[in-house]
Amino acid sequence: MEATIDRIMLTYNLLVNRSAEASAEARAKVTRYVATLFEAGEKDTDRLTLCGLTYLRELDGSSDPVKAGYTGL
């Protein structure tokens, strides 16, 4: 599971420029989230990586369509 967390954080840090403190906080949060998924039975590392990245993007608001400029018009 540690390799999955490393993969998530490497990819996320390429997408978002964050301070070391913010990155450490994000790592702690995504570790708890991925551990929950793993304990629930998800063992596919690709799915865990995707879910972890989605979780982090939702936390920082970067997957919000309104913030991205989509108005629906």
Domain ranges of the chain: 2-60
| pLDDT of 62 | 67
| pLDDT of 44 | 96
Does this model's pTM top 0.85? Answer: no
63 pLDDT more than 80: no
What value does the mean pLDDT take over residues 31-48? 96
* Residue 53 vs residues 14, 20, 48, 63, 73: alpha-carbon distances, Å: 12, 18, 9, 10, 28
